[in-house]
Amino acid sequence: MAKKIISEKVERFTESVIREMTRLAQMHDALNLAQGFPDFPAPQEIKEAACRAIQDDINQYAITWGSKSFRNAIAAKTRSYLGLEIDPEREITVTCGSTEAMIATLMAVINPGDEVVIFEPFYENYGPDAILSGATPRYVTLHPPDWSFDPGELEAAFNDRTKAIIINTPNNPTGKVFSRDELGFIAGLCIKWNALAVTDEIYEHILYDGATHCAIATLEGMRDRTITINGMSKTYSVTGWRVGYAIAPPHLTEAIRKVHDFLTVGAAAPLQEAGAHALSFPASYYKELARAYQSRRDLLLEGLAGTDFRCIIPRGAYYIMTDISAFGAGDDVRFTRYLIQDVGVAVVPGSSFFSNPLLGANYVRFCFCKRGETLHAATERLRKISRPKAGQSR
Ligand code: GLN
């Protein structure tokens, strides 16, 4: 029998559509409201801290699971923001972005036959993460407009084989912020079925209209079965630094550190030093971050008001899912190409966030982590699309 050159696992997923949209945006000179990264500078203090660390010769490997100063800063910030006491020596793994934290966590705990519950729509990476780690995904629907789940459906997704549930709150792409009650219900199922909660909380500070962040690790019975994933990218506007971390009880951290060590050895040492500085910012920094994002969100919502993009208002994170059915397109991927090539605005097709692409065919996702002028220019272009014209050119 002929040898298969490419891994069967790898053949089961495509390259990232989110990142492909950025390349297309560059190719067509479109405004990029696709991939979630800021087009404004990171805080001056952090940039200086990073330059200083390089000048101070912090240019060799840090301890594989993270420099002591950064882990101490993570523990201190987690204590003050979430009220969680974590041991920086035994419960933190610093990784190359939260992306690595997620895959290293899954690789550390999944065995053949294990199932992982994933809310759908979901951040694109979780699909390939499940495949690469060998987990069988069980999808549970989040229903618009509030993206609530049906407790019966969630309950039915758990069984003896359930190893973990992946939570992402505040949520990408929906902007849902899971309530304490919802997380309590999820916690009950994790405890009943002896399952882990793997929770991606990278948007923890990006909250609107008085929404509050609840970390499932703080709920009763969850501390020892939760892996909390986070990173610097979104909170400090440094998505290209690739500095993330996983917080987990010692027995899980030990396993995650082993995987992490052989995957990447470690995250950039000088950037971890800058991270230690960033994570000691006062509470006012996070308040201002949320305020600034709320005004960017409102700018985009206002700009899209009166167009055929029906916005589902997010309560957290920095994306807006829009229903595009009024355009009569029925094909989110073609519609996105039209937006990039003819209108000059890049978005992410909704199907990237669903296991069955048809479920996302009537959505596109906008991100608004952009300067006011970028958002203005984008909505000016989008407001020119008239329904019949968009329909015809499709
Ligand atoms: N989280 C961002 C998004 O969804 C980008 C993530 C990435 O490309 N690594 O657009």
163 and 106 in contact (C-beta within 8 Å)? no
Q: Of all helices (H) and strands (E), which one includes residue 102?
A: helix 97-109
Per-position DSSP letters for 120-144, written without gaps between them: ES--TTHHHHHHHHTPEEEEEEPBT
pLDDT computed for residue 273 by the predictor? 98
pLDDT by 10-residue block (mean), the chain, 394 residues? 90 91 96 96 98 98 98 98 97 98 98 97 96 97 97 98 98 98 98 98 98 98 98 98 98 98 98 98 98 98 96 98 92 96 97 96 98 98 74 43
For residue 320, the CA-to-ligand 1 centroid distance in Å is: 14
Dihedrals phi, psi of 141, to nearest 5 degrees:
-75, 135
For residue 6, the CA-to-ligand 1 centroid distance in Å is: 26
Three-class DSSP category at 60: coil
Q: Is ligand 1 within 6 A of the CB of residue 172?
A: yes
pLDDT computed for residue 309 by the predictor? 97
Strands 92-95 and 226-231: unpaired
88 and 73 in contact (C-beta within 8 Å)? no
Tell me the torsion sign for CA atoms 140, 179, 249, 273: positive
How far does the chain reach from its first CA to its final CA, in angstroms?
A: 45
Of 243, 265, 260, residue with least CA distance to 63: 265
Q: Is ligand 1 within 6 A of the CB of residue 347?
A: no
Q: Of all helices (H) and strands (E), which one includes residue 245?
A: strand 244-247
**Alpha-carbon span 23 to 55, nearest angstrom:** 33
> Which residue owns the Cα nearest ligand 1 atom 2?
36
pLDDT computed for residue 329 by the predictor? 77
319 and 172 in contact (C-beta within 8 Å)? yes
pLDDT computed for residue 81 by the predictor? 96
pLDDT computed for residue 4 by the predictor? 92
Ligand 1: atom nearest CA of 99 is 9
**Alpha-carbon span 86 to 108, nearest angstrom:** 20
pLDDT computed for residue 125 by the predictor? 96
The label of the residue with tokens 């400090």 reads 236
Give Cα separations from 222 to 75, 183, 370, 377 (angstroms).
18, 10, 36, 45
Domain architecture of the chain: domains with CATH: 10-42+284-382 (3.90.1150.10), 44-281 (3.40.640.10)
Q: Is ligand 1 within 6 A of the CB of residue 23?
A: no
Task: Quote the Cα angle for 235-236-240, to 5°.
Answer: 110
Tell me the torsion sign for CA atoms 304, 172, 98, 21: negative
> Which residue owns the Cα nearest ligand 1 atom 9?
99
pLDDT computed for residue 229 by the predictor? 98
Q: Which pTM does this prediction carry?
A: 0.96
Which of 24, 39, 168, 172 to probe ligand 1 with, by most ligand atoms within 8 A of CB?
172
198 DSSP 8-state letter: E
Q: How many CA atoms lie within 13 A of 305 on its CB side?
A: 8
The amino acid at residue 383 is: R
The label of the residue with tokens 């966590």 reads 105
Q: How many helices and strands in the chain, by DSSP H and E? A: 14, 13
Q: Is ligand 1 within 6 A of the CB of residue 47?
A: no
> Which residue owns the Cα nearest ligand 1 atom 3?
36
pLDDT computed for residue 386 by the predictor? 65
pLDDT computed for residue 1 by the predictor? 73
**Alpha-carbon span 236 to 245, nearest angstrom:** 14
Per-position DSSP letters for 6-17, written without gaps between them: S-HHHHTSPPPH
